[in-house]
Amino acid sequence: MFTEIFELSTTAQFHLAQPLARARLDYLTHCAQQGFRAATLRKTAQFLLVIIKYLDLQEEGDISIEQIRAAADRWATRKPRHHKTKSPTGPRQSFASIALRWLRFLGRLRKPLIQQHPCTNLISAYLEYMERDKGLSLATIKLESYYVKDFLHHFCNPPRSLKSLSVADLDEAFLEKSRGGYTRSSLCVFAKSLRAFFLYAEGQGWCKTGLADAIVSPREYKHESLPAGPSRNDVERLLASTNANTPTDIRDRAILMLLIIYGLRSLELRRLRLEDIDWEHELIRVTRFKSRCVQVYPLSYNVGEAILSYLKEARPFSQYREIFLTRRAPIQPLSGSGLMNLVARRMQKLGILPKHPGPHSLRHACATHLLTQGLSIKEIGDHLGHRHPDSTLTYAKVDITALRRVADFDLEVLL
């Protein structure tokens, strides 16, 4: 590896002769497999020697985060400093970042002692119940547990028994959330999550009875909000912004077409794998993360061409089976925040400003377009993977053309 990243053989031999050569080689090989460039590998190799020196690393022994920070500070504030170094902040961060990643890779990073929260065991038992007994999806469990953890961590700080919880404490929590900017829909989810938890807690004898019944959700108005997707003209402009042949544009074009044409959710797109594309029969398989079923679509010619172009010209070499990967090292599947930033950044650049810029707004745009094309609510719901018609009915409110025809109707002819 040293001979591959250093041009001079003497430099490669120097690095090979330094302490912990095997540990450094293994890590650099790992970084190369993650897509790091040669320049980054050279910088990392040089930093590893500095890390060994300032941490006094031996063949064995764990290192704490506090030790890394102290060593990074000593190195960044050393005198004399490099003539190009204007501030110790950058070098300190680089030292700590590389040291943390390397020691974690080696399994030698000492985990900090974390004081267990009093409600940790209760939360763990409830999570197991939701998965084992209720059969909820991981996405639903993650959402509901977020609100439960948020409430319990606030309620149990300082530590107190759940049996001391009263209805007044619940009222105070809801008042605090409403003052903190929670919308009515967020408060409804908060209330439903807590009610489900306290029903379980009452059955386990963790708290007083009657708390679950005391939690009343704010009134929900059916189909209260309009879909927040961009217009068809904005969607076309967004897609046209990816016409360049750069690797990023090639990838983003395939992603946007899948979001626009199939109305995929963020997680559904990010979980698409190479084997989900049936090139021979021109089909694409989508695993719906809410219903956890597989839905098969005909593969549109334009979408197929966009995906094929990405796979051939722009997708980095990787062992991952997910179709869409990051452009920068470490090469890995796109994260939720990564996809959100990708879409939102392109929208903002074009001045497209829906209420919630991101991939889900394109799902709304897809549904709205299908409605204006005359498809039924049932057909739109099937296309989007909705299990219940009510999930699709919200899009019926955006058929502005039909509403205008009603408004233009001369009611006097009925008199």
Both structure tokens of 256 = 């946007």
- What is the predicted pLDDT for the residue at 410? 47
- Residue linked to tokens 């990073």: 109
Handedness of CA 367, 368, 369, 375 (dihedral sign): positive
Q: Is 369 a catalytic residue?
A: no
Degrees, nearest 5: CA angle 91-92-97: 100
- What is the predicted pLDDT for the residue at 402? 47
> What pTM does this model have?
0.70
- What is the predicted pLDDT for the residue at 272? 93
Residues 6+ apart with CB under 8 A from 89: 76
Q: Is 251 a catalytic residue?
A: no
Instruction: Compute CA distances 177 → 173, 198, 263, whole Å.
Output: 6, 18, 32
- What is the predicted pLDDT for the residue at 354? 79
User: Which listed residue (363, 364, 369, 383) is catalytic?
Assistant: 363
CB burial string 147-169: b at 16+ within 10 A, e below: bbbebbeebbeeeeebeebeeee
Q: Is 363 a catalytic residue?
A: yes
- What is the predicted pLDDT for the residue at 394? 59
Q: How many residues does the chain have?
A: 415
CA neighbours closer than 13 Å in the CB half-sphere of residue 86: 0
Spatial contact of 297 and 277, defined as CB atoms under 8 Å apart: no
CATH 3.40.630.10 fits 232-404, yes or no: no
- Domain extents for the chain? 2-106, 120-214, 232-404
- What is the predicted pLDDT for the residue at 117? 64
Q: Is 290 a catalytic residue?
A: yes
Q: Is 395 a catalytic residue?
A: yes
User: Which listed residue (149, 177, 251, 360) is catalytic?
Assistant: 360
Q: Is 383 a catalytic residue?
A: no
User: Which listed residue (15, 265, 315, 369) is catalytic?
Assistant: 265
Q: Which superfamily is assigned to 120-214 in CATH?
A: Tyrosine recombinase, N-terminal domain (1.10.150.130)
pLDDT by position in tens, the chain (length 415): 778 888 888 888 888 888 888 998 999 999 888 888 888 898 999 999 999 999 988 888 888 999 999 999 988 888 776 656 667 788 889 889 999 999 999 998 887 766 666 677 888 888 889 888 888 877 788 888 888 888 888 877 666 778 888 888 888 888 888 888 788 888 888 899 999 999 999 998 888 888 888 888 877 665 555 556 788 888 899 999 998 889 999 999 999 999 988 888 888 899 999 999 999 989 999 887 766 778 888 898 999 999 999 999 999 888 899 999 998 888 899 998 999 999 999 999 999 887 778 888 888 888 887 777 777 767 777 777 776 665 565 555 555 444 444 444 444 443 3
Spatial contact of 242 and 252, defined as CB atoms under 8 Å apart: yes
One DSSP character per residue, 65-76 reads HHHHHHHHHHHH
User: Which listed residue (208, 290, 327, 397) is catalytic?
Assistant: 290
